[in-house]
Structure 1
Amino acid sequence: MRKLIVLSLLFTACASLPPAAPHAFVPSPAPGAPIQVCWIDTGGVTVPGGYGAGGSTKAATWEVTSAALVIRHPKGDLVLDTGISPHAQEEQRELGAWGRFTFSQTAGRNAPRRNLKEALTALGVTRPKALLLSHVHADHAGGVASLPDVPVWLAAEEEQLIEAELEHPRGVALPAHARALKGRMVPIPFAAEPYANYEARFDVFGDGSVVVVPTFGHTPGSVATFVNVSPAQRFVHVGDLINLRESIERNVGKSWLMRRLTDEDSARTQAEVAKLVQLHARDPELLILPAHDRRAFVELFGADEGGVPPCIGTPPRPSGG
């Protein structure tokens, strides 16, 4: 592993990204309903910082979380990503040799922490309105099978990826997860309406509290999700566009190794990272939350002390809408 990290650093020593193309900025409106957001840390690992970001990282180590977020809204509970499966090591055996190697260097390094279903029960979540996947990699779709009757929202391009994996598996998604998604996928109905510095959006609840935008590249249909808890507490969950928040400050992407192992379209992913840098410059109060940066989750939600998962915001009152 140390040799791989050194190789990654050599490839990314001068990894500054070119700027994103100029783009009009549409400020997000104030959220229309009180929401609560909770962090479920399903698994993780600690690796050298150079594994997470290009060039010379500030962080000596990358503290990894494979997280699910529970967004509690008056119109229902939404689960954003489902973390790593407790059966991931058994599930990866269906992969070919290269798939097993990639898994062993990425999602497969996670040690289990929380069971998604048990954590939802601790939060009082009985049946979510939907699962929303940033993308279908194993450490994001691992809990889909544990909630078999819940619809799964993802981009149409990601649905097409799963259909292709079911016909001719390449290992982009674990076969067990692809089977668990079959027949449950609901394409996200993006509207051609600008939001922040993006061209399209899907307003999940219709009130500006949760807005999804396309950020295709890491996978064909990967997305980012803006979560507006209150006017003073806003973040955007960016999936695996970056792994450490310092990438935005330093204007770099992921390490060469992580791009090589996990990005379906590395150039397009880098362009989306440049858009995040642009977004941060236009809206510096918005927290950019990489899906696997555990330190960023702790800063936002507080430490996970066991028992009920940590939450921010106001628990909503259910509505009949």
Structure 2
Amino acid sequence: MTSLWTAAVLAGVGAVLLAVRSFRPSPLPAPPPWTDPLPDASPPAEMAIHQLPTGTYENRAVLAYRGGSFGDLRKFAATAVLVQHPAGDLLIDAGFGANVDEHIATMPSYRRSPHELGATVRDQLAARDYDLARLRGVVITHAHWDHVSGVQDLDVPIWLNDAEGRYVDRAKDAAVFRDVSRHREIHRYAFDGPPYLGFPSSHDVHGDGSVVIVEAGGHTDGSVVVFVALPDGRRFAFIGDLTWQMEGVTLRAERPRLLRVLADVQPERVRDGLLRVIALADRVHVVPAHDVRAYDPIPLWTSDERVPPATGRG
């Protein structure tokens, strides 16, 4: 009995030490930078992007990336991005919706954190008399509650690939998505295009290289990265939750092991996707969905920039 008790204690101590070590800095190996030309893109002159912040919630940096400080309390963004295009506009994610308190309540208590609410995407669009008929839909980077809560306020299609469709059918973490999408059109798209910037397959939304969705599963089955090319030559990569904060890219710091196990369906695929993004960071502005700093180069929707005409949903 004593030997069994000793073995149990040693196993427990070992597990604690392993967990502690997983929070220490341990940068991923630096991938070779992307040196090939960027893919061709012909974004129309009227194309533009805007950020629509809908609120924030609190999390500690120690839980966001390896080497983060416990004392560093971060405001995690819940921000949608409106991509305007003459062939029809798209939202990337939808942020917090009007019923976000109900959506947060569906989470286990240990995953709830203090949050601040801003105006919903729908309210922000309405404030500038935006015609929702211009909106082709919401491209979700993945189906977790803090990316889809605002879908409930928008009667527009939800863009979903088959792998993420399988995820939302089975995953507990997709309960909010199942609720908000119940009476929404689902627009299925396929990765029918070639490899793109190191990712295995792609979908070119408009056929002009201005908005390209790539398969980057791992956080969820069908999570994606959305690349946007603007007429002024700037390129953006909206990477969802490949990393929660910019340090995932700048310090090559993945999530602590415990958080990878809890948050990611396939942690190794997340690592592969993060390394691909790190290789692009000198050529493309990378936007982790929850880092408020990453949205700084994107104008707020409250700007007075002229809204181009749309030609329909297509």
> Shorter-chain TM-score: what band?
0.7 to 0.9
* Aligned residues of 1:79 and 1:130 also touching (Cα < 8 A): yes
> 2:173 is aligned with what amino acid?
V
Deviation at 1:199, TM superposition (A): 2.1
> 2:61 is aligned with what amino acid?
G
Q: Deviations over 1:91-145 (max 9, x none)?
A: 344x4xxx4135415xxx4321121211111244322111110001001010111
1:64 aligns with 2:76: yes
The structure 2 residue matched to 1:159, chosen from 161, 165, 182, is 165
TM-score normalized with structure 1 length? 0.80
Q: Distance in 2 between matches of 1:293 and 1:203?
A: 26
> 1:216 is aligned with what amino acid?
G
Q: Distance in 2 between matches of 1:318 and 1:89?
A: 34
Partner of 1:144: 151
> 1:300 is aligned with what amino acid?
P
Partner of 2:26: 15
> 1:130 is aligned with what amino acid?
G
Instruction: Decide whether aligned partners of structure 1 residues 43 and 301 sit closer, same or farther in structure 2, where only a CA change above 3 A counts.
Output: same
The structure with the larger Rg is 2
Q: Which has the higher contact order (CA 8 A, sep 6+)?
A: 1
* Aligned residues of 1:217 and 1:269 also touching (Cα < 8 A): yes
1:142 aligns to what SS in structure 2?
helix
Instruction: Decide whether aligned partners of structure 1 residues 76 and 102 sit closer, same or farther in structure 2, where only a CA change above 3 A counts.
Output: farther
Partner of 2:276: 275
Deviation at 1:46, TM superposition (A): 4.1
TM-score normalized with structure 2 length? 0.82
Partner of 1:167: none
Instruction: Decide whether aligned partners of structure 1 residues 65 and 25 sit closer, same or farther in structure 2, where only a CA change above 3 A counts.
Output: same
* Aligned residues of 2:122 and 2:153 also touching (Cα < 8 A): yes
Write the mapping of 1:43-122 to structure 2, written as runs, cut at 5 A.
43-56=55-68, 60-93=72-105, 95=106, 99-101=107-109, 103-105=111-113, 109-122=114-127
Partner of 2:229: 228
> 1:140 is aligned with what amino acid?
H
Instruction: Decide whether aligned partners of structure 1 residues 29 and 315 sit closer, same or farther in structure 2, where only a CA change above 3 A counts.
Output: farther
Q: Distance in 1 between matches of 2:103 and 2:76?
A: 21
Deviation at 1:229, TM superposition (A): 1.6
Instruction: Decide whether aligned partners of structure 1 residues 230 and 23 sit closer, same or farther in structure 2, where only a CA change above 3 A counts.
Output: closer
The more displaced of 119-128 and 245-254 is 119-128
1:197 aligns to what SS in structure 2?
coil
* Aligned residues of 2:201 and 2:215 also touching (Cα < 8 A): yes
* Aligned residues of 1:82 and 1:141 also touching (Cα < 8 A): yes
Q: Deviations over 1:244-294 (max 9, x none)?
A: 1122121111244543432222222122111212222xxx13101100100
* Aligned residues of 2:96 and 2:120 also touching (Cα < 8 A): no
Partner of 2:3: none
Instruction: Decide whether aligned partners of structure 1 residues 185 and 7 sit closer, same or farther in structure 2, where only a CA change above 3 A counts.
Output: farther
* Aligned residues of 1:26 and 1:197 also touching (Cα < 8 A): no
> 2:289 is aligned with what amino acid?
A
Partner of 1:292: 290
Partner of 1:207: 208
* Aligned residues of 1:9 and 1:54 also touching (Cα < 8 A): no
Q: Distance in 1 between matches of 2:198 and 2:254?
A: 19
Partner of 1:131: 138
1:235 aligns to what SS in structure 2?
strand
* Aligned residues of 2:193 and 2:204 also touching (Cα < 8 A): no
> 1:17 is aligned with what amino acid?
L
> 1:136 is aligned with what amino acid?
A
> 2:166 is aligned with what amino acid?
Q
Count, aligned residues: 293
Partner of 2:43: 32
Structure 2, unmatched stretches of 5+, are 1-16
> 2:290 is aligned with what amino acid?
H
